[in-house]
Each structure stands twice: as structure tokens, then as C-alpha cells.
Amino acid sequence: MSEMTGNNSASKETIIEISDLNKWYDDFHVLKNINLKVAEGEKLVICGPSGSGKSTLIRCINRLETHQQGKIVVNGIELTNDVKRIDQVRRDVGMLFQNFNLFPHMTVLENLTVSPVWILKKPMAEARELAFHYLERVKIPHLADKYPNQCSGGQQQRIAIARCLCMNPKVMLFDEPTSALDPEMIKEVLDVMTDLAESGMTMLCVTHEMGFARTVSDRIVFMDAGEIVEVNEPEEFFNNPQYDRTVAFLSQIISH
């Protein structure tokens, strides 16, 4: 586990490069001229009001959404319609969802082993070992034989994180991972995410957890109306925002 802070990330190699990205839903221009570079090991928090395109942006990175213009390069592979490239990128990029999306017909252990076995062609024994390793890491090895609907929301999200980690991703995308959780469960998920950040994982988080953004992230990306308004280091972002739109957003968040 390598300890890593924000300021040495510039020396690392770029793992995601987004240039001049534009996307439309029919006539609606959801993403406008997005340019973003993410270095290996960097932790990015993406925030902004709802409908600002933050989820759409990270869903473009593993091609759950297609873009019409611009270029997305992940780990040296440019995303096009080529299915092989998409599959390769998806193996490198893990994703967490607001609703966990565990497979309900499989036990927790099966949820964790099925992808390594079927996609990475790992032997079952090895996959099980890996699964238990990551279940330990998210602190719920005792749930291995339960079904997802027998677990609490916080536990399900931690299982989902372990499921991602079993695929050994280089980048992890978080799409509002704590938005569907009770306040008491948010902390256990954020703890796991912090632990993950400390281990040097490249993370892109769409979240409203400003405390997490302040303490864990290297940079904060603020988006509104499909555009990146500003990108800044957390201290700067909270104490010295550059745009009036950012100030307005922050005042909304802080006030309640």
C-alpha cells in the first residue's frame, strides 16, 4: 500500500484523457466541450447540481453512454464502437452505482466470484480466495453466503465495492455511491472508499459528500449545465472558489 497525496500525482502517467467531449440526448446538449486529464492514482470528486451531466460524464468513461464528439482515451485505449476495445476498457474500469446493482439471484460470494471466473477465466478456487480477501477488506466476510437482499444498504454497497475490486480494476468510478443510504450507513461506505483511496486507486467520484471531497480528493471538478465550471484543489475549491456559480452552489450545500 503506497501512501500518496495529491501533489505528486502530476508526476504520474495520465490514465484517462478526455478531450473536446460533446454529447447530446436527442436535441439536449448534456456534455459541452469537456476536457479532463486524470493521472494514475489521482482521486477526483465531481460535484454539481442535478442535471449538470456529472453522472453522464463518468458513464461515458466506461461506455455505458456513447458520445457523439470528442475523444476518450482510457489506459491508452480510445473508446470507439469497437466492442473489443469497450470490453478491454470495462475490465480496466470498475463502477459503483447508486442502487448497488448486485445480482440478486446469486449469493454474495457468487456475486464476487462470477465475474473473475467467467470474464477473467480464473479458476474457481483462486476466485474464492480473492473474494474472501476483498470481503475481509470491506469488513463483511461473514456475509459470504447471504443473498444481497438480506444485507443492509451499506453492506450491499461494500459488497459492490468488493465485487469491483475482484476484477482488479485500474480506475474506479463512483456514481453517487452513498445517495441511497441511511445516514448511519453512509459512514461505513465512505470509510471503505477512504481506505481504497489510501491504497492508491485512481478514483472518480460523483458525490455530494463534501466532507469526503475535502479530505480525500486531490482535485474537485465542479460542473453545471453540462460544462466543467472549475477544477481546483479541495482547499482552494472550498475557501477560494473562482466563479460565482461555485459560490452559489457551495452556499446551497453548506446552508442545510
Partner 1 sequence: MKNWQSSPSLPSPEQQQGLIKWCRMNLFSSVVNTLLTLTGLLILWWLIPPFFQWAVVNSCWTGDSREVCDAAFAASGKTGACWVFIKVRLGMFMYGFYPEVERWRINFVLLVLALGLLPVLAYGIFSKNLRQAIFGVFGLLTVFYFFGIIPAIFTAAFFFLPFLLDFLSARLAWLAVSLDLWHTLIKLCLMLLVGALTFFLAVTFIGEGHGWASTLATVVLLLVLFFVRNVTVFAWRWILLFTIFPLFAFYMLVGNVFSLAHVETHYWGGFFLTLVVASSGMATALPIGILMALGRRSELPVIKVVCVVFIEIARSVPLVSVLFMASVMFPLFLPESVTFNKLLRALVGIAFFYAAYMAEVVRGGLQAIPKGQYEAAKALGWPYWRMMAVVILPQTLRLVIPGLAINFLSLLKDTTLVAVIGLLDLLGIAKASMADAEWLGFTKEAYVFAGIVFWVFCFAISRYSVRLEKKLHTSLH
Task: Answer yes or no: are the C-beta atoms of 173 and 95 closer than 8 Å.
Answer: yes
Instruction: Determine the 3-state secondary structure of 21 from DSSP.
Output: strand
Q: How many CA atoms lie within 13 A of 207 on its CB side?
A: 26
Q: Are strands 14-25 and 69-74 parallel, antiparallel or unpaired?
A: antiparallel
Q: Which one of the spans 7-15, 22-30, 161-169, 192-200 is the region binding partner 1 (CB under 8 A)?
A: 161-169
For residues 44 and 206, give the distance between their C-alpha atoms in angstroms, rounded to a whole number: 9
The grid cell for 225 is: 449545465
Q: Which one of the spans 35-43, 66-74, 102-110, 192-200 is the region binding partner 1 (CB under 8 A)?
A: 102-110
Name the phi and psi angles at 147, rounded to 5: -95, 150
Q: Does 238 bind partner 1 (CB under 8 A)?
A: no
Q: Does 156 bind partner 1 (CB under 8 A)?
A: no
Q: Does 253 bind partner 1 (CB under 8 A)?
A: no
- Amino acid letter at 195? D
Q: Does 149 bind partner 1 (CB under 8 A)?
A: yes
- Where do we find the cell 471531497? 213
Q: Does 81 bind partner 1 (CB under 8 A)?
A: no
Figure out which of the listed residues 10, 124, 247, 253 binds partner 1, where binding follows CB under 8 A: 124
For residues 195 and 178, give the distance between their C-alpha atoms in angstroms, rounded to a whole number: 16
Q: Which one of the spans 28-36, 87-95, 203-211, 221-229 is the region binding partner 1 (CB under 8 A)?
A: 87-95
Task: Answer yes or no: are the C-beta atoms of 188 and 154 closer than 8 Å.
Answer: yes
The grid cell for 10 is: 502530476
Q: Does 91 bind partner 1 (CB under 8 A)?
A: yes
Looking at the DSSP bridge assignments, the partners of residue 24 are: 29
The grid cell for 119 is: 470474464
Figure out which of the listed residues 52, 62, 75, 157 binds partner 1, where binding follows CB under 8 A: 62
Figure out which of the listed residues 87, 129, 136, 145 binds partner 1, where binding follows CB under 8 A: 87
Figure out which of the listed residues 24, 32, 70, 117 binds partner 1, where binding follows CB under 8 A: 117
Q: Does 76 bind partner 1 (CB under 8 A)?
A: no
The grid cell for 168 is: 482488479
Q: Does 94 bind partner 1 (CB under 8 A)?
A: yes
Please give the residues from 166 up to 205 whose contact with partner 1 meets the rule CB under 8 A.
167, 173
- List interacting residues with partner 1 (CB under 8 A): 62, 64, 83, 87, 90-91, 93-95, 97, 99, 101-105, 114-115, 117-119, 121, 123-124, 147, 149, 160, 163-164, 167, 173
